[in-house]
Amino acid sequence: MIKAVVFDFGQTLVDAADGFRAAEKKLQLCIFSDLKLSDWEEFISLYRNIRRSFHEKSNFSRKAIISVVYRCFGRKVDPRKISRWQEDYWQKVAEETREFPEAREVLKLLSANYNLAMITNTQGGRESESHRAYRFPDLMRFFETIVVAGEGDIPPKPDPAPFRLCLDRLNIEASEAVYVGDDWRIDICGAENSGMHPVWIKHRSVRRSWPEVESSVPVIESLDQLPELPLFD
């Protein structure tokens, strides 16, 4: 019997795709200019490879990524500068993050019968209260507990620890929880390995290359399809 529904945040409840694209472009130009480089293709190839390696480890700290980029070019960077760039980065993402139109109504509907919770990976900020999720109080009010994985002694998803912590806070078994997320490796594999019932949301309105995998995990293209799944019968 399902007792709780647990959500990811970015690209699950809110669309931040445009914000990330704008923030990435601005950050790349700042670094390229500050390094006084002339070969954009060489720079961007290196930058993207470094960023990918960090993301594969669920590390989204722009400070860490920038520091490695500078080291690769044999340069040091002012810590105050990269702190400012990181703050500007997440500010830009937050400014251009929008709720998916159906999100609030779906949370309201589900909250009548289930406990709701959220597990989101840290964005590399100093504390969980700085996470952009808290800019959306009309969404956050539905959640009994919110776990910001990757901060303090909580490892980031897909590590099972944040999933177990959330279940402990809800005082339920993994088999009694549905987890809804957009990232195959971080969300779906993480939840499944923790014993929860994952639901893969591949928003139809999001421009994205989804990984091709063979799986029996339910797939939805909009949050309003979630309550219709057999899991909730």
Residue where a domain terminates, one of 79, 95, 111? 95
Supply the pLDDT for residue 60: 87
CA atoms within 13 A on the CB side of 20: 13
Do 89 and 111 have their domain in common? no
Share of the chain above pLDDT 90, in %: 81
Does residue 55 have a pLDDT over 70? yes
Supply the pLDDT for residue 125: 53
Do 11 and 32 have their domain in common? no
Element (H, E) at 107: helix 103-111
Does residue 177 have a pLDDT over 60? yes
Entry pTM = 0.91
Mean pLDDT of the chain: 93
- Retrieve residue 211's tokens: 């990984």
**Which among 19, 72, 22 is positioned nearest to 43, based on CA atoms?**
72
List the single range of 6-15, 92-101, 110-119 with lowest mean pLDDT: 92-101
192-218 exposure pattern, b = at least 16 Cβ within 10 A, e = fewer: bebebbbbbbebeeeeeeeeeeeeeeb
Domain that holds residue 208: 4-16+98-232
Q: Are strands 115-121 and 4-7 parallel, antiparallel or unpaired?
A: parallel
Distance CA 233, CA 212 (A): 28
Do 145 and 181 have their domain in common? yes
Do 80 and 113 have their domain in common? no
Do 142 and 180 have their domain in common? yes
Do 11 and 22 have their domain in common? no
Residue where a domain terminates, one of 65, 95, 125? 95
Does residue 108 have a pLDDT over 50? yes
Q: Give the pLDDT band of residue 129 (cuts 50, 70, 90).
A: low
Do 91 and 135 have their domain in common? no
Does residue 124 have a pLDDT over 70? no
**Which among 145, 106, 114 is positioned nearest to 5, based on CA atoms?**
114
Does residue 187 have a pLDDT over 50? yes
Do 143 and 205 have their domain in common? yes
How many domains does the chain contain in total?
2
Do 69 and 112 have their domain in common? no
Q: What single DSSP character describes residue 216?
A: -
Q: Give the pLDDT band of residue 31 (cuts 50, 70, 90).
A: very high
Do 112 and 217 have their domain in common? yes
Distance CA 231, CA 217 (A): 11
Do 86 and 140 have their domain in common? no
- Retrieve residue 72's tokens: 């690769």
Category of 201 on φ-ψ map: left (φ > 0), alpha (ψ -120 to 50) or beta = beta
Distance CA 22, CA 26 (A): 6
Return all residues near 233 (Cβ < 8 A) that are at least 6 apart: none
Supply the pLDDT for residue 128: 44
Does residue 78 have a pLDDT over 50? yes
Residue where a domain terminates, one of 76, 95, 114? 95
**Which among 84, 52, 83, 50 is positioned nearest to 68, based on CA atoms?**
50
Supply the pLDDT for residue 151: 86
The CATH code of the domain that includes 206 is: 3.40.50.1000
Please tell me whether residue 127 adopts helix, strand or coil conformation.
Answer: coil
Does residue 53 have a pLDDT over 70? yes
Do 117 and 195 have their domain in common? yes
Q: What does the pLDDT average to over 79-95?
A: 90
Supply the pLDDT for residue 152: 85
